[in-house]
């Protein structure tokens, strides 16, 4: 059956951490790094986190901010009291506004292309209850059809129940829906447990051995859906 609905993870697919804000906050506390260094480190940290926990913890917001700890480790930034002080400021901002507020270049044109293909776009994401407000604030809300926030539903990926909730809300069918995410054990394994096909967004080409289709960007996803080359 042809694809009619595309589930999209938010963090790592539609948006990324605002690393410029993170670097600036660290800098105010005397910790020197750059947004570019943190963004590069994130690509490697997320793969390690995914492999280590195999989806047992929320990928984007684990307890103790393990995600950020790993990013800083890969960026060779020592964890000091100054880092903890910066974390306190970042936690406050994240709780109010959501740090995953940067829209990578190419995301908006890709969403436009996906919609031009007649696809229904549903965001299915582990987040903290601010996702809908975030997407409104950064201008992505009008570009998708539905948002399913794990905090609001009380269940997180890789639990297949979140995908089933999304299917029900969207009026979508397993056979004609795919899920696109950037973490194998959270997104791919979770989606498959709900009977969905899954695509890994692997921007840095770090998972050549994974057993599912991979794309480097949403633009590539649009190309392959147009050409029907995802299988």
Question: Are residues 203 and 149 located together in one domain of the fold?
Answer: yes
pLDDT given for residue 1 in this prediction: 76
How far apart are alpha carbons 147 and 136 in whole angstroms? 11
Alpha carbon distance 78, 114 (integer Å): 42
Write out the two tokens for 192.
């498959």
What pLDDT, in 10s, does the model give residues 59-105? 444 444 788 999 999 999 999 999 999 999 999 999 899 999 999 99
Task: Please tell me the least confidently modeled range out of 12-21, 49-58, 110-119.
Answer: 49-58
Question: Are 70 and 159 members of one domain?
Answer: no
Which structural domain range is residue 163 located in?
Answer: 5-14+102-227
> What CATH number is attached to the domain comprising 150?
3.40.50.1000
What is the predicted pLDDT for the residue at 23?
A: 98
26 and 88 in a single domain? The answer is yes
Residue 158 has pLDDT above 70, yes or no: yes
Same-domain status, 29 and 130: no
Task: State the number of CA atoms in the 13 A half-sphere of 23 facing the CB.
Answer: 15
What would the two tokens of residue 218 be? 């949403």
**Does the reported pTM lie above 0.85?**
yes
Whether residues 219 and 164 fall in one domain = yes
- pLDDT for the residue 60: 42
Give DSSP secondary structure letters for the chain.
----EEEE-SBTTTBB--HHHHHHHHHHTT----HHHHHHHHHHHHHHHHHHHTTSS-SSS-GGGHHHHHHHHHTT----HHHHHHHHHHHHHHHHT-S--B--TTHHHHHHHHHHTT-EEEEEE---S-HHHHHHHTT-GGGSSEEEEHHHHT--TTSHHHHHHHHHHHT--GGGEEEEES-IIIIIHHHHHTT-EEEEE-TT---TT-SS-EESSHHHHHHHHHHT---
Can you say how many angstroms the Cα of residue 169 is from the centroid of all Cα atoms in its chain?
20
Q: Which residue has the tokens 């995953």?
A: 100
Tell me: do 73 and 44 sit in the same domain. yes
109 and 222 part of one domain: yes
Same-domain check for residues 68 and 113? no
pLDDT level of residue 52 (50, 70, 90 thresholds): confident
Domain co-membership, 85 together with 107: no
Please, are residues 139 and 133 in contact by the beta-carbon 8 Å criterion?
A: no
The confidence score (pLDDT) of residue 147 equals 98
Residues 69 and 172 in one domain: no
pLDDT given at position 230: 87
**For 112-148, what is each residue's pLDDT tens digit?**
999 999 999 999 999 889 999 999 999 999 999 999 9
Q: How confident is the model at residue 149 (pLDDT cuts 50, 70, 90)?
A: very high
| Percentage of residues of the chain with pLDDT beyond 90 | 84
């Amino acid at each position: 059956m042809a694809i009619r609905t595309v589930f999209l993870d938010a963090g790592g697919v539609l948006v990324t951490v605002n690393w410029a804000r993170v670097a600036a906050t660290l800098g105010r506390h005397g910790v020197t790094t750059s947004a570019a260094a943190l963004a590069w480190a994130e690509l490697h940290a997320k793969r390690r986190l995914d492999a280590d926990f195999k989806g047992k913890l929320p990928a984007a917001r684990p307890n103790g901010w393990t995600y950020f700890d790993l990013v800083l480790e890969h960026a060779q930034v020592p964890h000091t009291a100054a880092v903890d002080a910066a974390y306190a400021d970042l936690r406050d901002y994240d709780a109010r506004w959501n740090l995953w507020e940067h829209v990578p270049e190419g995301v908006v044109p890709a969403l436009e292309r996906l919609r031009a293909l007649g696809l229904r776009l549903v965001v299915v994401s582990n987040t903290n209850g601010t996702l809908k407000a975030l997407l409104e604030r950064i201008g992505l809300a009008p570009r998708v059809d539905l948002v399913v926030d794990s905090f609001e539903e009380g269940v997180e990926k890789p639990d297949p129940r979140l995908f089933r909730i999304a299917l029900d809300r969207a009026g979508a069918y397993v056979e004609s829906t795919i899920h696109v995410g950037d973490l194998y054990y959270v997104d791919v394994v979770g989606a498959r447990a709900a009977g969905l096909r899954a695509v890994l967004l692997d921007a840095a080409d770090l998972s050549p051995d994974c057993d599912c289709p991979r794309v480097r960007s949403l633009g590539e996803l649009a190309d392959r859906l147009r050409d029907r080359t995802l299988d």
